[in-house]
């Protein structure tokens, strides 16, 4: 009788051990599958995917008038503002609004926090996506007073009209660079490949269906303010 009881006890113990191993194996399998999924997502994620999937934040839609909210992509050129519609009032300065736009619509994902750059772009000729925190130098603005005057012109959204009489040195170059930057933001630009047979690097996307002319001016004002 004692031997029978001992055999029954060993059998129950073996079943318990096997059940524990099954539970342990299931937990290890589920954790492995979960981490495998996370690793796969990390490998396939790119800043371009973030920009494509991320909608404009609520505060932008609320603050902008209807004509400047996200809509169907324009066929060519910059978005045009209908006549007779007043500009939307803003509780932010143009620099602050540009900072908020830069960090919420997706610019910072590729160009870094505050435009400091450093984001790798595989197979791109320059290795990393360009930084934008020294934009003032690209516009040949080296004096803080000159940078501030351009920021004020961007706040009024009349920079093209006021530059010729602004007294700024090299104003034709500033104007040409401003128009070039605005076109680049609206229309996008492909990224040059280091290896022609390699993968396509992340391009500059076109923002003309998501950002109004005023939005672009505010973002440029923020980037210029980084040199003040």
Q: How confident is the model at residue 153 (pLDDT cuts 50, 70, 90)?
A: very high
* pLDDT reading at 82 higher than 80: no
CA dihedral 52, 54, 56, 57 (to 10 degrees): -170
Domain boundaries, the chain: 1-44, 48-78+87-225
Q: How confident is the model at residue 30 (pLDDT cuts 50, 70, 90)?
A: confident
* pLDDT reading at 191 higher than 50: yes
Query: Which residue, among 58, 82, 51, 80, has the nearest Cα to 188 in the 3D structure?
Result: 51
User: pLDDT digits over 91-141, tens only?
Assistant: 789 999 999 999 998 899 899 999 999 899 989 998 999 999 999 999 999
Please tell me the pTM assigned to this model.
0.66
Q: How confident is the model at residue 44 (pLDDT cuts 50, 70, 90)?
A: low
Please tell me the predicted confidence (pLDDT) of residue 181.
94
CA dist., res. 6 & res. 93, Å (int): 83
User: What's the mean pLDDT when you consider all of the chain?
Assistant: 78
DSSP state of 75: S
Q: 142 CB contacts (<8 Å, ≥6 apart)? A: 136
């Amino acid at each position: 009788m004692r031997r029978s009881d001992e055999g029954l006890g060993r059998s129950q113990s073996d079943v318990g051990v096997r059940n524990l191993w099954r539970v342990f194996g299931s937990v290890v399998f589920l954790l492995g599958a979960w981490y495998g999924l996370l690793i796969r997502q990390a490998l396939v994620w790119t800043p371009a995917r973030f920009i494509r999937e991320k909608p404009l934040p609520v505060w932008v839609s609320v603050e902008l008038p209807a004509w400047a909210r996200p809509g169907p992509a324009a066929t060519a050129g910059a978005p045009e503002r209908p006549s007779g519609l007043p500009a939307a009032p803003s509780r932010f300065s143009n620099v602050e609004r540009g900072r908020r736009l830069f960090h919420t619509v997706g610019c910072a994902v590729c160009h870094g926090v505050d435009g400091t750059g450093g984001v790798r772009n595989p197979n791109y000729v320059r290795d990393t996506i360009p930084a934008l925190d020294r934009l003032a130098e690209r516009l040949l603005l080296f004096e803080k007073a000159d940078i501030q005057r351009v920021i004020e012109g961007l706040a009024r959204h009349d920079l093209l009209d006021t530059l010729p009489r602004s007294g700024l040195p090299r104003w034709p170059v500033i104007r040409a660079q401003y128009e070039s930057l605005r076109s680049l933001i609206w229309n996008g630009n492909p990224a040059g490949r280091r290896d022609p047979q390699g993968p396509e690097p992340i391009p500059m996307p076109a923002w003309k269906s998501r950002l109004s002319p005023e939005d672009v001016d505010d973002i440029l004002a923020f980037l210029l303010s980084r040199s003040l």
